[in-house]
Amino acid sequence: MRLIKLAFISFFVFFLLITGISLFFPSHVRISKAIDINAPRDSVRAMISQPLHWKNWYPGADTLALYEADGVIKGIRMPGNQVLMITGFNDSTVMAANSSSGTERASMGWNLIQSNPKTVTVQWYMDFKLRWYPWEKFSSLLLEKRYGPVMEQGLAKLKTTVQATP
């Protein structure tokens, strides 16, 4: 009985310690990658803001089905019954979100910054809103390793695609 009581108290104290440490981690994490593209801003924005063109550059979208609502293509169907769709855009920003659940805990977007008349800097960012759970906070340390290379690959393919289009 003493051993069980010691194990329970040790587990509880360890859990409180890990939870306390995880509270120092931020609840909002943003991963961002950028690339310079030698093309007009309108052609870059058209490639990003129209999910029909995502098959040409978005990593993995070439094998995914498009998501259509009200006769308009609004995004792509992701594995696991999720949909990644455009939520809004203007001259310099395109925003997208995952619509798998009612609470939006992850979103992404692209900022288009005109460096000079012939060059546009495209910044692709992903925002993650984390709950207080220790496993979510500690897993946030690996988000850049997981999504960073994929974002860089997508931006490189976007650059190649847009610059090849006359």
Number of domains in the chain: 1
Buried b (16+ CB within 10 A) or exposed e, 94-127: bbbbbbeeeeeebbbbbebeeeeeeebebebbbb
In a domain? residue 111: yes
In a domain? residue 14: no
Q: List phi, psi (to 5°) of 68.
A: -120, 135
Q: What is the CATH number of the domain that holds 137?
A: 3.30.530.20
pLDDT in tens, the chain (166 residues): 889 999 999 999 999 999 999 889 888 899 999 999 998 888 899 999 999 999 999 998 888 888 888 888 888 988 877 888 888 888 889 999 886 554 457 889 999 999 888 899 999 999 988 888 888 888 888 888 999 999 999 999 999 999 887 6
Domain that includes residue 43, residue range: 26-164
In a domain? residue 33: yes
In a domain? residue 8: no
The closest alpha carbon to 57, from 142, 163, 139, belongs to 163
In a domain? residue 36: yes
In a domain? residue 40: yes
Q: Which residue matches tokens 């329970």?
A: 8
In a domain? residue 138: yes
In a domain? residue 21: no
pTM over 0.85: no
Q: Which residue matches tokens 């977007």?
A: 109
